[in-house]
Chain A
Amino acid sequence: LAKTTQPISMDSYEGQEVNITCSHNNIATNDYITWYQQFPSQGPRFIIQGYKTKVTNEVASLFIPADRKSSTLSLPRVSLSDTAVYYCLVGWDSNYQLIWGAGTKLIIKP
């Protein structure tokens, strides 16, 4: 089971680029790295997934170094509506299910 470590909380300001780093030192060879976003009182929402190097979509970019022991979710030009909890998920648990940690609570200020 790949354990993930990410900051409990982060603050930033509107218009800034925000980078949230997740550490996963014991990632397995076949594990993918997945990020979800959760707004208050809503279900989590898939943001991005990657295996190595860089992945970009319309919402975010995901940077994964060659050793894959960490990953960084990059949110360009954040707005107040990006205030949410961001979860980094790696691999599966014994039930072959996603492993949910505490996530990073991102607060965007005006």
Chain B
Amino acid sequence: EPEVTQTPSHQVTQMGQEVILRCVPISNHLYFYWYRQILGQKVEFLVSFYNNEISEKSEIFDDQFSVERPDGSNFTLKIRSTKLEDSAMYFCASSDGVQIYEQYFGPGTRLTVT
């Protein structure tokens, strides 16, 4: 069964540093998403991406964040100047756009900012 993959599984960084989280969505999917989940809290939508551009973004997704699809397979989330409160699980997801409620999530990257 095809799956979404994410690297790294755990990233530790110092406050103020930049991190790039990587995702490989399912190959024939057209919509890509980033979510975050602070420990013990709700899943929070960050951004959706379609046709090589951001389609929607939440209030959380400010200038500190950016996304890119540098090639035909990777989808990245860059977080600049990380803060302690950016510590969370970051999930990438993709969907085929037909079953719009059915998103396939990756295993997540645990980001720890110290």
Contact = CB atoms under 8 A, between A and B. Distances in A.
A32 B102 CA distance: 11
Interface string A41-74: 1111110010000000000000000000000000
Interface in B83-114: 89, 91, 93, 99, 101-108, 110
Contacts of B89: 41
A43 B108 contact: yes
Chain B at the A interface: SS class: strand
Size bracket, chain A contacts: 20 to 34
A93 interface: yes
Given A97-B45, A102-B42, A46 B108 contact: no
A82 B4 CA distance: 22
Interface residues on B, range: 20 to 34
A110 B81 CA distance: 47
Contacts of A42: 107-108
B48 interface: yes
Contacts of A101: 42
Contacts of B42: 100-103
Given A93-B45, A95-B58, A98-B45, A44 B101 contact: no
